[in-house]
Amino acid sequence: MDQLQELLRQAELKQKSLELEMVFQRNMEFFRQAEPNIYNKYRNYNPTKIKMMLAPEGYINLVNVDLDNSPVFNKDPIDFCQDYVNQYKLLPSRYRVLARTTKALDIESDAHISTMNPLIDFINSKELTNIIVPLEKETQFMLVMGIGLGHHINQLLEITDIKHLCIIEPHEDIFYAALHTLDWHKLYEHFDREYTTFNLIVGQTPSACYEQIRIYLNQIGLFNAARPNVFDHLSSPEMKATTSMFFEKLPTLIGAMGYFDDEQISLSHSVANYRNNTPILRSHALLTNSYSDKPAFVIANGPSLDKAKDFLLANRDKAIIFSCGTALGSLAKLGIKPDFHIEMERTRPVVEWIETSTTQEFRKDIILLGLNTIHPDTFALFNTIGMGMKSNDLGTHFICQYIGEEQFVINMALSNPTVGNTGMAFAAALGFSNIYIFGMDFGFPAEGKHHSELSKHYDIEDKHQEDLHLYKHDAEGNILLDGNFGNKIVSTSIYSHARLAVETLLSQNKKINCYNTSEGVLIRGSKPIRYEDIDLSNVHKFDKKPYARSLFNNNFNMKGLKKIHSNDEVVAKFSPVLDLFSQFRKIFTDDAKSREEAFMMLTKHHHIAIEAGKDKIKQYAYSLIKGSVHSFNFVLAKSLYNGSNQKEGVEIFNQGKQHYLDFMDHAEQKILHELLKTDARSRNLAEKIKPENNLH
């Protein structure tokens, strides 16, 4: 009897093997045409960690080779997946994306903020967070973490129509198994419909997965992920890291969209600065492989700067000093003159900050390095000036057409969202391989203080403090991040974005040794070090003024760049905006009758905008409005999930879209009459400073 059972088992195993091989061959033939990289990877693949095995009960299971072939599923994987899908249907995992209003000066003059803030207030007032919504008949976006044997994919598709599906499988062995069990041709065919997409990511690191998701969401429209569903299957450390990174960086994706008025100011300031013959950064250490042996101190104005005062005073002649933003005034109080001052904020109140916190004599020998977006009046405060062209920016995009065929400028990637990021970007470009960070806290490490106690912020009379629109340590939506010296630090989504930008910059500039003295957020890739532990005994004092000047002269110039002859040639490039607005209005004039119809409106809106971005004639017009187009799309998509049911969500959407129509009306007037107008807002700081702290 035992021999007969063994023969039957062998026959069953042979039959299963034949079935699996047939499925594998069909999938490989499909991928040979559809995804050649997958075909080439797996046609002769041999798994080493995870393998398929026939269980005694007669089903195919996965086993972990390193754990003595222990089974991955504790029962038939089909039943296991069905049980999980049934549970998920009742209580799906979703990520809640917060929508927050923006604080700004003179909001009424901003087409975007003046209409977006009321929209956000409206939809937030309609949001119900205590309602559990089961998986619906249609799911706009789902992120599936793990393919396993693929059974859950078909089971999910049976109960919900997923419009945009992204599957991530970091384990190549597991994907190899799924090539034997899932009909991939059929899955791809399912999404071969209009307005549906499928994205497969296999064998990638968490950071590479995030990058591919970012590209994918930008293609389909980030609005589709306004309420992302996440299905975790066969969780692993790699899966958890990928999921954490996605949700950690999702607010960054949203925040990085920008908006119309910001782009308009960028354009006007960039054109003015270019016409003023401001020298442009034309070189980078990554290109020249030329690095400085001098230390660089990049100094931001965070609270932990206070404890570094004595160290900075004692070592100011041993390093090239970069002051970032309002840190200039703090250093002026200490009597420390930086070699380079860094600015990135585009609004005119920056001029007021500099004028009220420093004297003309103090600024005399300081070299100002700013992004192309900063106000022309900011550049006018310094004798020696240079600008870096900000990446993903309309002003940069527009100016690039005036670069000669054999000329180039440096695209200043990772130079925002804070001026500390800009300082790091310039220090990296100029070739400093030993960078020491001071006051770059990216959070509130010291009793909730927002800046160094030396900062001009504390010289403002108390009754005007609220007008500064500063981040607060106890604000709703703040997050906790790992601290540079342990513990947790209260931070914000913007500061988290800033930290990630520095981490990326350090990973791309391998020759930089970065030492972080700040008592704020941990910056991966930098070495935490107390300022008292920094040993500069082998570094000699040097004549910094000619050294800084030489660096500037070697890296900044205006050679080979063409002239902008008139305002008319600039304005003509943006006239297609008016036609785009006309098309957008037609989409949103009528009310949607269902969530599906509303998403179709948003999808058509997205497609028209994206196609404009690909058109040589319309590309500048698209760059001007893209931030607002995608932002309104996202917030309107979020509104569809508010209220107590779909019908209420659609009503909220229909009311909310009026704010977008109002935005277009306002923006159109600014394009027609104020396209090249520089920022004229004011904080009237000189009138708000405590009398005992006024320089004049």
* pLDDT above 90: residue 681: no
Which pLDDT value is given to residue 457?
A: 47
Which pLDDT value is given to residue 254?
A: 72
Instruction: Tell me the C-alpha distance between 476 and 382, whole Å.
Output: 39
* pLDDT above 50: residue 330: yes
Q: Tens digits of per-residue pLDDT, 443-464?
A: 887 665 545 555 444 444 444 3
Which pLDDT value is given to residue 465?
A: 40
Which pLDDT value is given to residue 691?
A: 53
Q: Tens digits of per-residue pLDDT, 170-201?
A: 999 999 999 999 999 999 999 999 999 999 99
Which pLDDT value is given to residue 463?
A: 43
Q: Say if residues 402 and 393 touch (Cβ distance below 8 Å).
A: no
Which pLDDT value is given to residue 447?
A: 64
Which pLDDT value is given to residue 572?
A: 93
Q: Tens digits of per-residue pLDDT, 593-642?
A: 999 999 999 999 999 999 999 999 999 999 999 999 999 999 999 999 99
Residue 300 CA neighbour count, 13 Å, CB half: 28
Q: Answer with the residue of higher pLDDT: 3 or 319.
A: 319
- 163-175 in b/e form (b: 16+ CB < 10 A) is bbbbbbbbbbbbb
In the chain, pLDDT over 70 holds for what percent of residues? Answer: 91
- The model's confidence at residue 272, banded by pLDDT at 50, 70 and 90, is very high
- 443-472 in b/e form (b: 16+ CB < 10 A) is bbbbeebbbbebbbbebbeeeeeeeeeeee
- The model's confidence at residue 493, banded by pLDDT at 50, 70 and 90, is confident
| Cβ-Cβ contacts under 8 Å for 45 (sequence gap 6 or more) | 172, 176
* pLDDT above 90: residue 473: no
Q: Is 662 helix (H, G, I), strand (E, B) or coil?
A: helix
Mean pLDDT for the chain overall: 89
CA-to-CA dists, residue 464 to 198, 468, 687, angstroms: 52, 7, 10
Q: Say if residues 97 and 250 touch (Cβ distance below 8 Å).
A: yes
What mean pLDDT do residues 652-670 have?
97
Q: Say if residues 342 and 370 touch (Cβ distance below 8 Å).
A: yes
CA-to-CA dists, residue 394 to 18, 105, 259, 262, 606, angstroms: 58, 22, 11, 9, 19
* pLDDT above 60: residue 235: yes
CA angle 441, 120, 102 (to 5 degrees): 35
Lowest-confidence pick of 5-9, 156-160, 679-683: 5-9
Closest listed residue to residue 323, CA positions, set 331, 313, 333: 331
Label the pairing between strands 434-438 and 367-371: unpaired
Which pLDDT value is given to residue 282?
A: 94
Q: What are 13's two structure tokens?
A: 């195993």
What mean pLDDT do residues 323-339 have?
94
Q: Is 202 helix (H, G, I), strand (E, B) or coil?
A: strand
Which pLDDT value is given to residue 469?
A: 42
Which pLDDT value is given to residue 253?
A: 73
* pLDDT above 80: residue 6: no
CA-to-CA dists, residue 605 to 114, 138, 583, 626, 637, angstroms: 21, 20, 8, 11, 12
Instruction: Tell me the C-alpha distance between 24 and 16, whole Å.
Output: 12
In the chain, pLDDT over 90 holds for what percent of residues? Answer: 71
DSSP lists the bridge partners of residue 51 as 63
Q: Answer with the residue of higher pLDDT: 465 or 55.
A: 55
* pLDDT above 90: residue 323: yes
Q: Tens digits of per-residue pLDDT, 115-153?
A: 999 999 999 999 888 888 999 999 999 999 999 999 999
CA angle 459, 464, 469 (to 5 degrees): 100
Instruction: Tell me the C-alpha distance between 438 and 531, whole Å.
Output: 9
Q: Write out 284-330 in H/E/C secondary structure.
A: CHHHHCCCECCCEEEECCCHHHHHHHHHHHHHCCCCEEEEECCHHHH
* pLDDT above 70: residue 589: yes
Closest listed residue to residue 435, CA positions, set 363, 512, 366, 537: 512
* pLDDT above 50: residue 524: yes
* pLDDT above 80: residue 671: yes
